[in-house]
Protein backbone atom coordinates (compact mmCIF):
# COMPACT_ATOMS: atom_id res chain seq x y z
CA UNK A 1 0.00 0.00 0.00
CA UNK A 2 1.26 3.44 -0.87
CA UNK A 3 -0.05 6.58 0.78
CA UNK A 4 -0.34 9.96 -0.85
CA UNK A 5 0.25 12.92 1.47
CA UNK A 6 -2.93 14.82 2.16
CA UNK A 7 -3.26 18.10 0.34
CA UNK A 8 -2.94 21.33 2.28
CA UNK A 9 -6.17 23.22 2.79
CA UNK A 10 -4.96 25.89 0.39
CA UNK A 11 -4.59 23.27 -2.35
CA UNK A 12 -8.28 22.23 -2.37
CA UNK A 13 -10.16 23.77 -5.35
CA UNK A 14 -12.75 26.24 -4.14
CA UNK A 15 -15.59 24.41 -5.93
CA UNK A 16 -14.92 21.41 -3.68
CA UNK A 17 -15.26 23.47 -0.49
CA UNK A 18 -18.29 24.77 1.31
CA UNK A 19 -19.45 28.33 0.74
CA UNK A 20 -18.71 29.99 4.09
CA UNK A 21 -18.60 33.36 2.32
CA UNK A 22 -22.39 33.09 2.12
CA UNK A 23 -22.43 33.68 5.90
CA UNK A 24 -19.83 36.47 6.00
CA UNK A 25 -17.88 37.59 2.92
CA UNK A 26 -14.65 37.90 4.90
CA UNK A 27 -13.15 38.11 8.37
CA UNK A 28 -13.65 41.86 8.51
CA UNK A 29 -17.42 41.39 8.15
CA UNK A 30 -17.37 38.70 10.87
CA UNK A 31 -15.48 40.95 13.25
CA UNK A 32 -17.80 43.86 12.49
CA UNK A 33 -20.83 41.71 13.30
CA UNK A 34 -19.36 40.76 16.67
CA UNK A 35 -19.04 44.44 17.53
CA UNK A 36 -22.53 45.18 16.24
CA UNK A 37 -24.13 42.34 18.22
CA UNK A 38 -22.18 43.35 21.33
CA UNK A 39 -23.59 46.85 20.99
CA UNK A 40 -27.14 45.61 20.37
CA UNK A 41 -27.02 43.41 23.44
CA UNK A 42 -27.39 46.61 25.46
CA UNK A 43 -31.06 46.62 24.37
CA UNK A 44 -31.57 43.45 26.41
CA UNK A 45 -30.77 45.21 29.69
CA UNK A 46 -33.83 47.45 29.41
CA UNK A 47 -36.10 44.40 29.69
CA UNK A 48 -34.54 43.00 32.86
CA UNK A 49 -37.09 43.20 35.66
CA UNK A 50 -39.83 44.36 33.29
CA UNK A 51 -40.95 41.29 31.31
CA UNK A 52 -44.16 41.18 33.30
CA UNK A 53 -45.10 44.78 32.58
CA UNK A 54 -47.34 43.82 29.63
CA UNK A 55 -47.83 41.15 26.97
CA UNK A 56 -46.40 43.55 24.36
CA UNK A 57 -43.27 44.02 26.46
CA UNK A 58 -42.76 40.25 26.71
CA UNK A 59 -43.31 39.89 22.95
CA UNK A 60 -40.78 42.67 22.27
CA UNK A 61 -38.17 40.85 24.35
CA UNK A 62 -38.78 37.51 22.63
CA UNK A 63 -38.53 39.14 19.19
CA UNK A 64 -35.22 40.74 20.20
CA UNK A 65 -33.91 37.54 21.79
CA UNK A 66 -34.71 35.47 18.69
CA UNK A 67 -33.03 37.97 16.38
CA UNK A 68 -29.91 38.18 18.54
CA UNK A 69 -29.75 34.39 18.88
CA UNK A 70 -29.69 33.95 15.10
CA UNK A 71 -26.95 36.55 14.74
CA UNK A 72 -24.93 34.92 17.52
CA UNK A 73 -25.40 31.57 15.81
CA UNK A 74 -24.03 32.88 12.52
CA UNK A 75 -21.00 34.31 14.30
CA UNK A 76 -20.26 30.93 15.83
CA UNK A 77 -21.08 28.77 12.77
CA UNK A 78 -18.81 30.80 10.49
CA UNK A 79 -15.75 30.35 12.66
CA UNK A 80 -16.63 26.77 13.60
CA UNK A 81 -16.75 25.71 9.94
CA UNK A 82 -13.44 27.36 9.14
CA UNK A 83 -11.68 25.91 12.17
CA UNK A 84 -13.03 22.40 11.46
CA UNK A 85 -11.40 22.08 8.05
CA UNK A 86 -7.92 22.83 9.41
CA UNK A 87 -7.46 22.14 13.10
CA UNK A 88 -3.77 23.00 12.79
CA UNK A 89 -4.55 26.63 11.88
CA UNK A 90 -3.99 28.37 15.20
CA UNK A 91 -5.62 31.62 14.12
CA UNK A 92 -8.93 29.90 13.36
CA UNK A 93 -8.73 27.91 16.60
CA UNK A 94 -8.29 31.17 18.51
CA UNK A 95 -11.26 32.73 16.73
CA UNK A 96 -13.32 29.64 17.55
CA UNK A 97 -12.55 30.13 21.24
CA UNK A 98 -13.34 33.83 20.91
CA UNK A 99 -16.74 33.07 19.36
CA UNK A 100 -17.64 30.50 22.01
CA UNK A 101 -16.72 32.91 24.79
CA UNK A 102 -18.74 35.70 23.22
CA UNK A 103 -21.72 33.39 22.76
CA UNK A 104 -21.60 32.30 26.42
CA UNK A 105 -21.40 35.89 27.67
CA UNK A 106 -24.32 36.92 25.48
CA UNK A 107 -26.48 34.02 26.69
CA UNK A 108 -25.62 34.93 30.28
CA UNK A 109 -26.81 38.47 29.63
CA UNK A 110 -30.21 37.11 28.52
CA UNK A 111 -30.44 34.46 31.23
CA UNK A 112 -32.87 36.46 33.37
CA UNK A 113 -35.66 35.48 30.96
CA UNK A 114 -36.68 32.10 32.38
CA UNK A 115 -36.85 33.10 36.07
CA UNK A 116 -38.79 36.25 35.20
CA UNK A 117 -41.19 34.36 32.94
CA UNK A 118 -41.90 31.94 35.78
CA UNK A 119 -42.69 34.84 38.10
CA UNK A 120 -45.26 36.13 35.61
CA UNK A 121 -47.08 32.81 36.00
CA UNK A 122 -48.31 30.50 33.29
CA UNK A 123 -51.98 31.31 33.78
CA UNK A 124 -51.16 34.91 32.95
CA UNK A 125 -48.87 33.96 30.07
CA UNK A 126 -51.54 31.71 28.55
CA UNK A 127 -54.05 34.55 28.75
CA UNK A 128 -51.54 36.91 27.15
CA UNK A 129 -51.09 34.56 24.17
CA UNK A 130 -54.75 35.25 23.33
CA UNK A 131 -54.37 39.01 23.81
CA UNK A 132 -51.07 39.62 22.00
CA UNK A 133 -50.92 38.02 18.52
CA UNK A 134 -47.12 37.90 18.56
CA UNK A 135 -47.15 35.70 21.65
CA UNK A 136 -49.39 33.06 20.06
CA UNK A 137 -46.32 31.85 18.16
CA UNK A 138 -44.68 30.95 21.46
CA UNK A 139 -47.41 28.65 22.83
CA UNK A 140 -45.29 25.51 22.39
CA UNK A 141 -42.25 27.29 23.82
CA UNK A 142 -44.25 28.28 26.91
CA UNK A 143 -45.44 24.70 27.29
CA UNK A 144 -41.82 23.52 27.32
CA UNK A 145 -40.91 26.22 29.81
CA UNK A 146 -43.76 25.19 32.11
CA UNK A 147 -42.55 21.58 32.06
CA UNK A 148 -39.07 22.85 32.91
CA UNK A 149 -40.26 25.15 35.70
CA UNK A 150 -39.12 22.95 38.58
CA UNK A 151 -35.58 23.01 37.20
CA UNK A 152 -35.20 26.75 36.55
CA UNK A 153 -33.20 28.54 39.25
CA UNK A 154 -33.02 32.13 40.44
CA UNK A 155 -31.84 34.99 38.22
CA UNK A 156 -28.37 34.95 39.76
CA UNK A 157 -27.96 31.18 39.48
CA UNK A 158 -29.23 31.12 35.89
CA UNK A 159 -26.78 33.86 34.95
CA UNK A 160 -23.93 31.96 36.59
CA UNK A 161 -24.87 28.68 34.87
CA UNK A 162 -24.96 30.47 31.51
CA UNK A 163 -21.56 32.05 32.10
CA UNK A 164 -20.14 28.57 32.73
CA UNK A 165 -21.14 27.41 29.24
CA UNK A 166 -17.86 28.28 27.54
CA UNK A 167 -15.66 26.87 30.33
CA UNK A 168 -17.72 23.68 30.35
CA UNK A 169 -16.73 23.08 26.71
CA UNK A 170 -13.03 22.97 27.56
CA UNK A 171 -12.74 19.22 28.17
CA UNK A 172 -14.51 18.49 24.89
CA UNK A 173 -12.30 20.91 22.96
CA UNK A 174 -9.10 19.54 24.46
CA UNK A 175 -10.08 15.95 23.65
CA UNK A 176 -11.03 16.95 20.10
CA UNK A 177 -7.83 18.87 19.40
CA UNK A 178 -5.80 16.01 20.87
CA UNK A 179 -7.35 13.44 18.52
CA UNK A 180 -7.64 15.67 15.45
CA UNK A 181 -4.34 17.51 15.53
CA UNK A 182 -1.85 16.06 18.01
CA UNK A 183 -2.05 12.24 17.93
CA UNK A 184 0.84 10.56 16.15
CA UNK A 185 0.38 7.04 14.84
CA UNK A 186 3.17 4.44 14.81
CA UNK A 187 3.87 3.28 11.22
CA UNK A 188 2.06 0.11 10.12
CA UNK A 189 3.58 -2.86 8.34
CA UNK A 190 1.99 -4.70 5.42
CA UNK A 191 2.27 -8.38 4.47
CA UNK A 192 5.37 -7.69 2.38
CA UNK A 193 7.13 -6.12 5.34
CA UNK A 194 6.90 -2.62 3.92
CA UNK A 195 6.38 0.30 6.28
CA UNK A 196 3.20 2.31 5.82
CA UNK A 197 2.96 5.78 7.32
CA UNK A 198 -0.39 6.50 8.95
CA UNK A 199 -2.30 9.69 9.60
CA UNK A 200 -5.84 10.49 10.64
CA UNK A 201 -6.90 11.06 7.04
CA UNK A 202 -5.49 7.75 5.78
CA UNK A 203 -6.35 5.48 8.72
CA UNK A 204 -9.70 4.27 7.40
CA UNK A 205 -8.15 3.30 4.08
CA UNK A 206 -5.64 1.11 5.90
CA UNK A 207 -8.31 -0.45 8.11
CA UNK A 208 -10.30 -1.37 5.00
CA UNK A 209 -7.32 -2.81 3.15
CA UNK A 210 -7.56 -6.39 1.79
CA UNK A 211 -4.10 -6.94 3.32
CA UNK A 212 -4.86 -8.50 6.70
CA UNK A 213 -1.40 -7.86 8.11
CA UNK A 214 -1.75 -4.18 7.26
CA UNK A 215 -5.21 -4.03 8.83
CA UNK A 216 -3.95 -5.62 12.03
CA UNK A 217 -0.95 -3.32 12.21
CA UNK A 218 -3.01 -0.20 11.43
CA UNK A 219 -5.74 -1.14 13.94
CA UNK A 220 -3.15 -1.58 16.67
CA UNK A 221 -1.39 1.65 15.66
CA UNK A 222 -4.67 3.57 15.87
CA UNK A 223 -5.53 2.12 19.27
CA UNK A 224 -1.97 2.49 20.61
CA UNK A 225 -1.93 6.18 19.65
CA UNK A 226 -5.05 6.68 21.73
CA UNK A 227 -3.72 4.55 24.57
CA UNK A 228 -0.59 6.70 24.68
CA UNK A 229 -2.86 9.64 25.54
CA UNK A 230 -5.29 7.66 27.70
CA UNK A 231 -4.63 9.61 30.89
CA UNK A 232 -5.23 12.98 29.26
CA UNK A 233 -8.34 11.66 27.52
CA UNK A 234 -9.61 10.13 30.77
CA UNK A 235 -9.09 13.43 32.56
CA UNK A 236 -11.12 15.15 29.82
CA UNK A 237 -13.93 12.60 29.89
CA UNK A 238 -14.24 12.43 33.66
CA UNK A 239 -14.30 16.24 33.74
CA UNK A 240 -17.08 16.25 31.16
CA UNK A 241 -19.09 13.69 33.13
CA UNK A 242 -18.60 15.62 36.38
CA UNK A 243 -19.92 18.69 34.58
CA UNK A 244 -23.00 16.73 33.52
CA UNK A 245 -23.54 15.59 37.10
CA UNK A 246 -23.02 19.11 38.40
CA UNK A 247 -25.65 20.49 36.01
CA UNK A 248 -28.01 17.64 36.90
CA UNK A 249 -27.77 18.57 40.58
CA UNK A 250 -27.85 22.32 39.95
CA UNK A 251 -31.13 21.86 38.09
CA UNK A 252 -32.46 19.32 40.60
CA UNK A 253 -32.94 16.31 38.36
CA UNK A 254 -32.87 12.79 39.72
CA UNK A 255 -30.13 11.55 37.40
CA UNK A 256 -27.91 12.65 34.54
CA UNK A 257 -30.01 10.52 32.19
CA UNK A 258 -33.20 12.27 33.27
CA UNK A 259 -31.50 15.67 32.98
CA UNK A 260 -30.48 14.87 29.40
CA UNK A 261 -33.88 13.57 28.25
CA UNK A 262 -36.43 15.61 30.20
CA UNK A 263 -36.01 18.90 28.27
CA UNK A 264 -37.19 17.03 25.17
CA UNK A 265 -39.97 15.26 27.11
CA UNK A 266 -38.43 11.84 26.46
CA UNK A 267 -39.05 9.27 29.20
CA UNK A 268 -35.97 7.44 30.48
CA UNK A 269 -37.79 4.21 29.57
CA UNK A 270 -37.00 4.95 25.90
CA UNK A 271 -33.30 4.59 26.74
CA UNK A 272 -33.79 1.43 28.79
CA UNK A 273 -36.08 -0.14 26.15
CA UNK A 274 -33.35 0.32 23.56
CA UNK A 275 -30.66 -1.28 25.72
CA UNK A 276 -32.93 -4.22 26.58
CA UNK A 277 -33.77 -4.91 22.92
CA UNK A 278 -30.12 -4.52 21.95
CA UNK A 279 -28.95 -7.08 24.50
CA UNK A 280 -31.70 -9.51 23.50
CA UNK A 281 -30.64 -9.32 19.85
CA UNK A 282 -26.89 -9.75 20.29
CA UNK A 283 -27.10 -13.22 18.66
CA UNK A 284 -27.92 -11.47 15.36
CA UNK A 285 -24.54 -9.76 15.55
CA UNK A 286 -22.86 -13.07 16.35
CA UNK A 287 -24.43 -14.54 13.18
CA UNK A 288 -23.09 -11.63 11.18
CA UNK A 289 -19.58 -12.08 12.54
CA UNK A 290 -19.70 -15.75 11.55
CA UNK A 291 -20.89 -14.88 8.02
CA UNK A 292 -18.13 -12.29 7.75
CA UNK A 293 -15.55 -14.85 8.92
CA UNK A 294 -16.64 -17.26 6.19
CA UNK A 295 -16.54 -14.63 3.46
CA UNK A 296 -13.07 -13.53 4.54
CA UNK A 297 -11.93 -17.15 4.63
CA UNK A 298 -10.24 -16.87 8.03
CA UNK A 299 -10.22 -19.32 10.92
CA UNK A 300 -11.04 -16.72 13.57
CA UNK A 301 -12.38 -13.18 13.33
CA UNK A 302 -10.49 -10.35 15.05
CA UNK A 303 -11.43 -6.70 15.66
CA UNK A 304 -9.31 -5.58 12.69
CA UNK A 305 -11.51 -7.70 10.42
CA UNK A 306 -14.74 -5.85 11.21
CA UNK A 307 -14.46 -3.45 8.26
CA UNK A 308 -12.27 -5.62 6.02
CA UNK A 309 -13.50 -5.74 2.39
CA UNK A 310 -15.69 -8.75 1.68
CA UNK A 311 -15.26 -8.57 -2.09
CA UNK A 312 -12.20 -8.07 -4.24
CA UNK A 313 -14.17 -5.96 -6.70
CA UNK A 314 -15.91 -3.16 -4.77
CA UNK A 315 -17.44 -0.47 -6.98
CA UNK A 316 -15.60 2.78 -7.44
CA UNK A 317 -18.02 5.62 -6.78
CA UNK A 318 -16.75 9.07 -7.77
CA UNK A 319 -18.49 12.00 -6.13
CA UNK A 320 -20.59 12.82 -9.21
CA UNK A 321 -21.92 9.25 -9.31
CA UNK A 322 -22.77 9.46 -5.61
CA UNK A 323 -24.85 12.54 -6.29
CA UNK A 324 -26.77 10.71 -9.03
CA UNK A 325 -27.36 7.56 -6.98
CA UNK A 326 -28.54 9.55 -3.98
CA UNK A 327 -30.94 11.60 -6.09
CA UNK A 328 -32.33 8.42 -7.69
CA UNK A 329 -32.80 6.77 -4.32
CA UNK A 330 -34.61 9.79 -2.88
CA UNK A 331 -36.91 10.19 -5.92
CA UNK A 332 -39.97 8.81 -4.05
CA UNK A 333 -39.94 12.01 -1.95
CA UNK A 334 -40.70 14.13 -5.02
CA UNK A 335 -39.08 16.59 -7.39
CA UNK A 336 -38.57 19.42 -4.89
CA UNK A 337 -36.59 17.26 -2.47
CA UNK A 338 -34.36 15.92 -5.25
CA UNK A 339 -33.77 19.29 -6.92
CA UNK A 340 -32.82 21.01 -3.67
CA UNK A 341 -30.58 18.10 -2.65
CA UNK A 342 -28.81 17.99 -6.02
CA UNK A 343 -28.12 21.72 -5.98
CA UNK A 344 -26.88 21.50 -2.38
CA UNK A 345 -24.38 18.78 -3.27
CA UNK A 346 -23.15 20.66 -6.35
CA UNK A 347 -23.73 24.26 -7.37
CA UNK A 348 -24.89 25.58 -3.99
CA UNK A 349 -21.70 24.28 -2.33
CA UNK A 350 -23.18 22.92 0.86
CA UNK A 351 -20.48 20.23 0.98
CA UNK A 352 -16.82 20.43 1.94
CA UNK A 353 -16.01 17.30 -0.01
CA UNK A 354 -12.44 16.01 0.13
CA UNK A 355 -9.84 15.36 2.84
CA UNK A 356 -6.99 17.74 3.56
CA UNK A 357 -4.29 17.96 6.17
CA UNK A 358 -5.64 19.00 9.58
CA UNK A 359 -9.27 18.46 8.64
CA UNK A 360 -11.39 17.33 11.55
CA UNK A 361 -12.21 13.62 11.56
CA UNK A 362 -15.67 12.31 10.76
CA UNK A 363 -18.53 14.09 9.06
CA UNK A 364 -21.29 16.43 10.16
CA UNK A 365 -24.05 18.78 9.07
CA UNK A 366 -24.10 22.32 10.44
CA UNK A 367 -25.69 25.75 10.13
CA UNK A 368 -28.85 27.48 11.31
CA UNK A 369 -31.77 29.46 9.93
CA UNK A 370 -30.33 32.02 7.55
CA UNK A 371 -27.36 29.89 6.47
CA UNK A 372 -26.93 26.97 4.13
CA UNK A 373 -27.17 23.52 5.77
CA UNK A 374 -23.46 22.78 5.43
CA UNK A 375 -21.88 19.31 5.25
CA UNK A 376 -18.29 18.37 6.13
CA UNK A 377 -16.82 15.03 5.09
CA UNK A 378 -13.73 13.46 3.50
CA UNK A 379 -14.96 11.78 0.32
CA UNK A 380 -12.87 8.87 -1.07
CA UNK A 381 -14.79 7.34 -4.02
CA UNK A 382 -16.27 4.38 -2.13
CA UNK A 383 -19.75 3.14 -1.30
CA UNK A 384 -18.98 4.03 2.30
CA UNK A 385 -18.32 7.64 1.34
CA UNK A 386 -21.51 7.71 -0.74
CA UNK A 387 -23.42 6.44 2.30
CA UNK A 388 -21.85 9.12 4.50
CA UNK A 389 -22.86 11.79 1.99
CA UNK A 390 -26.44 10.44 1.94
CA UNK A 391 -26.47 10.41 5.75
CA UNK A 392 -25.28 14.00 6.17
CA UNK A 393 -27.56 15.14 3.35
CA UNK A 394 -30.46 13.70 5.37
CA UNK A 395 -29.52 16.03 8.22
CA UNK A 396 -29.16 18.97 5.87
CA UNK A 397 -32.46 18.38 4.10
CA UNK A 398 -34.15 18.05 7.50
CA UNK A 399 -32.64 21.43 8.32
CA UNK A 400 -33.64 22.92 4.97
CA UNK A 401 -37.29 21.93 5.40
CA UNK A 402 -37.53 22.92 9.06
CA UNK A 403 -35.80 26.27 8.54
CA UNK A 404 -38.05 27.08 5.61
CA UNK A 405 -41.25 26.18 7.46
CA UNK A 406 -40.53 27.37 11.00
CA UNK A 407 -39.66 30.68 12.66
CA UNK A 408 -36.27 30.97 14.30
CA UNK A 409 -37.33 29.64 17.68
CA UNK A 410 -38.52 26.34 16.14
CA UNK A 411 -36.16 26.12 13.16
CA UNK A 412 -33.89 23.66 14.96
CA UNK A 413 -34.79 20.17 16.12
CA UNK A 414 -33.75 17.92 18.97
CA UNK A 415 -30.94 15.38 18.91
CA UNK A 416 -33.53 12.66 19.38
CA UNK A 417 -35.03 13.16 15.92
CA UNK A 418 -31.80 14.30 14.23
CA UNK A 419 -30.59 10.80 13.39
CA UNK A 420 -33.89 9.75 11.82
CA UNK A 421 -33.63 11.78 8.63
CA UNK A 422 -29.96 10.90 8.13
CA UNK A 423 -30.45 7.15 8.44
CA UNK A 424 -33.66 7.39 6.41
CA UNK A 425 -31.66 8.64 3.42
CA UNK A 426 -29.22 5.76 3.72
CA UNK A 427 -32.07 3.24 3.93
CA UNK A 428 -33.78 4.68 0.85
CA UNK A 429 -30.64 4.86 -1.30
CA UNK A 430 -29.52 1.40 -0.20
CA UNK A 431 -32.89 -0.16 -1.04
CA UNK A 432 -32.81 1.40 -4.50
CA UNK A 433 -29.29 0.15 -5.22
CA UNK A 434 -30.01 -3.37 -3.93
CA UNK A 435 -32.88 -3.55 -6.39
CA UNK A 436 -31.05 -2.10 -9.39
CA UNK A 437 -27.67 -3.86 -9.11
CA UNK A 438 -28.09 -7.63 -8.64
CA UNK A 439 -24.45 -8.53 -9.36
CA UNK A 440 -22.96 -10.59 -6.53
CA UNK A 441 -19.92 -8.38 -5.87
CA UNK A 442 -22.05 -5.25 -5.82
CA UNK A 443 -24.61 -6.87 -3.51
CA UNK A 444 -21.87 -7.97 -1.12
CA UNK A 445 -20.25 -4.52 -1.18
CA UNK A 446 -23.58 -2.82 -0.54
CA UNK A 447 -24.51 -5.16 2.31
CA UNK A 448 -21.04 -4.56 3.71
CA UNK A 449 -21.74 -0.83 3.68
CA UNK A 450 -25.12 -1.41 5.32
CA UNK A 451 -23.58 -3.57 8.03
CA UNK A 452 -20.88 -0.98 8.67
CA UNK A 453 -23.64 1.58 9.20
CA UNK A 454 -25.64 -0.75 11.43
CA UNK A 455 -22.40 -1.67 13.18
CA UNK A 456 -21.80 1.93 14.11
CA UNK A 457 -25.35 2.81 15.12
CA UNK A 458 -26.73 -0.52 16.32
CA UNK A 459 -23.64 -2.06 17.92
CA UNK A 460 -21.03 0.54 18.84
CA UNK A 461 -23.43 3.30 19.88
CA UNK A 462 -25.60 1.12 22.19
CA UNK A 463 -22.41 -0.26 23.74
CA UNK A 464 -21.13 3.28 24.26
CA UNK A 465 -24.53 4.16 25.74
CA UNK A 466 -24.20 1.38 28.30
CA UNK A 467 -20.70 2.67 29.09
CA UNK A 468 -21.98 6.24 29.38
CA UNK A 469 -24.76 5.27 31.77
CA UNK A 470 -22.39 3.34 34.05
CA UNK A 471 -19.79 6.14 34.06
CA UNK A 472 -22.42 8.74 34.98
CA UNK A 473 -23.92 6.53 37.69
CA UNK A 474 -20.50 5.88 39.23
CA UNK A 475 -19.81 9.61 39.25
CA UNK A 476 -23.22 10.32 40.79
CA UNK A 477 -22.30 7.87 43.58
CA UNK A 478 -19.03 9.71 44.14
CA UNK A 479 -16.77 6.95 42.83
CA UNK A 480 -13.47 7.84 41.20
CA UNK A 481 -12.67 7.02 37.57
CA UNK A 482 -9.24 6.37 36.11
CA UNK A 483 -8.14 5.65 32.56
CA UNK A 484 -7.68 1.99 33.42
CA UNK A 485 -11.13 1.79 35.02
CA UNK A 486 -12.72 3.35 31.95
CA UNK A 487 -10.83 0.97 29.67
CA UNK A 488 -11.83 -2.09 31.69
CA UNK A 489 -15.49 -1.09 31.68
CA UNK A 490 -15.40 -0.47 27.92
CA UNK A 491 -13.57 -3.71 27.12
CA UNK A 492 -15.92 -5.77 29.33
CA UNK A 493 -18.94 -4.37 27.49
CA UNK A 494 -17.46 -5.02 24.05
CA UNK A 495 -16.38 -8.54 24.94
CA UNK A 496 -19.97 -9.23 25.98
CA UNK A 497 -21.19 -7.70 22.72
CA UNK A 498 -18.75 -9.71 20.60
CA UNK A 499 -19.45 -13.00 22.37
CA UNK A 500 -17.62 -16.09 21.18
CA UNK A 501 -17.84 -14.97 17.55
CA UNK A 502 -14.94 -12.52 17.90
CA UNK A 503 -11.43 -13.43 19.05
CA UNK A 504 -9.77 -10.76 21.18
CA UNK A 505 -6.25 -11.65 22.28
CA UNK A 506 -5.26 -10.60 25.83
CA UNK A 507 -2.84 -7.97 24.50
CA UNK A 508 -5.66 -6.45 22.43
CA UNK A 509 -8.17 -6.13 25.28
CA UNK A 510 -6.82 -2.68 26.33
CA UNK A 511 -6.94 -1.65 22.68
CA UNK A 512 -10.64 -2.53 22.56
CA UNK A 513 -11.05 -0.72 25.87
CA UNK A 514 -9.86 2.64 24.51
CA UNK A 515 -12.81 2.78 22.06
CA UNK A 516 -14.42 5.50 24.18
CA UNK A 517 -11.40 7.73 23.51
CA UNK A 518 -12.07 7.68 19.77
CA UNK A 519 -15.38 9.53 20.20
CA UNK A 520 -14.17 12.95 21.15
CA UNK A 521 -17.44 14.66 20.23
CA UNK A 522 -20.12 12.09 21.01
CA UNK A 523 -19.06 11.30 24.58
CA UNK A 524 -19.45 14.97 25.53
CA UNK A 525 -23.01 15.29 24.25
CA UNK A 526 -24.82 14.03 27.31
CA UNK A 527 -26.61 10.75 26.42
CA UNK A 528 -26.55 11.42 22.69
CA UNK A 529 -25.09 8.13 21.49
CA UNK A 530 -28.17 5.98 22.24
CA UNK A 531 -30.16 8.28 19.98
CA UNK A 532 -28.24 7.00 16.97
CA UNK A 533 -29.85 3.62 17.61
CA UNK A 534 -33.34 5.03 18.15
CA UNK A 535 -32.78 7.18 15.06
CA UNK A 536 -31.89 4.28 12.78
CA UNK A 537 -34.92 2.41 14.16
CA UNK A 538 -37.31 5.24 13.35
CA UNK A 539 -35.64 5.74 9.96
CA UNK A 540 -36.16 2.18 8.78
CA UNK A 541 -39.77 2.16 9.96
CA UNK A 542 -40.47 5.31 7.93
CA UNK A 543 -38.53 4.11 4.87
CA UNK A 544 -40.41 0.80 4.88
CA UNK A 545 -43.73 2.66 4.74
CA UNK A 546 -42.67 4.79 1.79
CA UNK A 547 -41.06 1.93 -0.12
CA UNK A 548 -44.21 -0.13 0.39
CA UNK A 549 -46.30 2.68 -1.10
CA UNK A 550 -48.25 3.30 2.10
CA UNK A 551 -50.88 5.99 1.55
CA UNK A 552 -49.81 9.34 2.96
CA UNK A 553 -46.34 8.11 3.97
CA UNK A 554 -44.43 10.63 1.85
CA UNK A 555 -46.56 13.59 2.91
CA UNK A 556 -46.30 12.60 6.56
CA UNK A 557 -42.53 12.27 6.31
CA UNK A 558 -42.17 15.72 4.73
CA UNK A 559 -44.41 17.12 7.49
CA UNK A 560 -42.05 15.54 10.02
CA UNK A 561 -39.06 17.23 8.34
CA UNK A 562 -40.89 20.55 8.33
CA UNK A 563 -41.98 20.36 11.97
CA UNK A 564 -38.54 21.32 13.28
CA UNK A 565 -38.83 22.04 16.98
CA UNK A 566 -42.50 23.03 16.89
CA UNK A 567 -43.53 19.65 18.33
CA UNK A 568 -42.18 17.42 21.07
CA UNK A 569 -39.74 14.95 19.41
CA UNK A 570 -41.88 11.90 20.14
CA UNK A 571 -44.94 13.71 18.76
CA UNK A 572 -43.07 14.68 15.59
CA UNK A 573 -42.21 11.03 15.01
CA UNK A 574 -45.78 9.97 15.72
CA UNK A 575 -46.86 12.48 13.06
CA UNK A 576 -44.69 10.54 10.62
CA UNK A 577 -46.07 7.21 11.87
CA UNK A 578 -43.56 5.90 14.44
CA UNK A 579 -44.04 5.51 18.21
CA UNK A 580 -40.61 5.42 19.83
CA UNK A 581 -42.03 5.01 23.34
CA UNK A 582 -42.54 1.36 22.44
CA UNK A 583 -39.80 -1.22 21.70
CA UNK A 584 -41.41 -2.29 18.40
CA UNK A 585 -39.49 0.11 16.09
CA UNK A 586 -36.20 -1.12 17.55
CA UNK A 587 -37.31 -4.74 17.15
CA UNK A 588 -38.25 -4.04 13.52
CA UNK A 589 -34.88 -2.48 12.84
CA UNK A 590 -33.21 -5.60 14.20
CA UNK A 591 -35.42 -7.57 11.82
CA UNK A 592 -34.01 -5.49 8.95
CA UNK A 593 -30.53 -6.23 10.27
CA UNK A 594 -31.32 -9.95 10.47
CA UNK A 595 -32.56 -9.85 6.87
CA UNK A 596 -29.27 -8.36 5.71
CA UNK A 597 -27.37 -11.05 7.63
CA UNK A 598 -29.49 -13.77 5.96
CA UNK A 599 -28.79 -12.23 2.57
CA UNK A 600 -25.08 -12.18 3.32
CA UNK A 601 -25.16 -15.77 4.60
CA UNK A 602 -26.70 -16.84 1.30
CA UNK A 603 -24.05 -14.96 -0.68
CA UNK A 604 -21.35 -16.52 1.49
- In tens, the pLDDT along 116-161 reads 998 999 999 999 999 999 999 999 999 999 998 888 888 888 888 8
* Cα R_g (the chain), whole angstroms: 24
280/274 Cα distance (integer angstroms): 10
Q: Which residue has the higher pLDDT, 115 or 181?
A: 115
- In tens, the pLDDT along 396-448 reads 999 999 999 999 999 999 988 999 999 999 999 999 999 999 999 999 999 99
Share of the chain above pLDDT 70, in %: 99
Contact 43, 242 (CB under 8 A): no
pLDDT band at 4 (very low <50, low <70, confident <90, very high): low
- In tens, the pLDDT along 488-511 reads 999 999 999 999 999 999 999 999
Q: Which residues are catalytic?
A: 392
- In tens, the pLDDT along 299-329 reads 999 999 999 999 888 899 999 999 999 999 9
Q: Which domains does the chain carry?
A: 9-167 (1.20.140.70)
- In tens, the pLDDT along 25-39 reads 999 999 999 999 999
DSSP codes joined into one string, 249-293? HHTT-S-HHHHHHGGGT--HHHHHHHHHHHHHTHHHHHHHHHHHH
Contact 315, 443 (CB under 8 A): no
Residue 339 has pLDDT above 60, yes or no: yes
pLDDT of 383 reads 94
To the nearest whole number, what is the mean pLDDT of the chain? 93
Cα 120 to the center of its chain, rounded Å: 37
pLDDT band at 2 (very low <50, low <70, confident <90, very high): very low
Residue 232 has pLDDT above 50, yes or no: yes
- In tens, the pLDDT along 80-113 reads 999 999 988 999 999 999 999 999 899 889 999 9
Residue 560 has pLDDT above 50, yes or no: yes
Q: CA neighbours within 13 Å on the CB side: how many for 185?
A: 24
Of 204, 236, 232, the C-alpha closest to 218 is 204
- In tens, the pLDDT along 41-84 reads 999 999 999 999 999 999 999 999 999 999 999 999 999 999 99
Beta bridge mates, 352: 376
Amino acid sequence: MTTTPLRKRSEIPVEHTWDTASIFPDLAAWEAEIKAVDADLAQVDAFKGHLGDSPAHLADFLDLSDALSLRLGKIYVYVSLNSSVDTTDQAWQARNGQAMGFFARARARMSFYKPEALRIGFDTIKRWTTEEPRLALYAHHFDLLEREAAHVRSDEVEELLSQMGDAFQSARRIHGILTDADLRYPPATDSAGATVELALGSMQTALQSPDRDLRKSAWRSDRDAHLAAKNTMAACLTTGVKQDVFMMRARKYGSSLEAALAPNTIPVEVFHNLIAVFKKNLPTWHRYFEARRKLLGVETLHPWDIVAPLTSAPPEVPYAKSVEWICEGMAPLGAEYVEVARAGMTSERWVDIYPNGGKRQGAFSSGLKGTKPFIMMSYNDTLFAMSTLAHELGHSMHSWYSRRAQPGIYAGYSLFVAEVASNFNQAMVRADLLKRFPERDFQIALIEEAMANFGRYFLIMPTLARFELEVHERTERGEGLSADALNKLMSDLFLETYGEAMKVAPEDVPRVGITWGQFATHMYSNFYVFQYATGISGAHALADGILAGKTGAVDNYLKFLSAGGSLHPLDALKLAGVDMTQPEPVEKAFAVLAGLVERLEALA
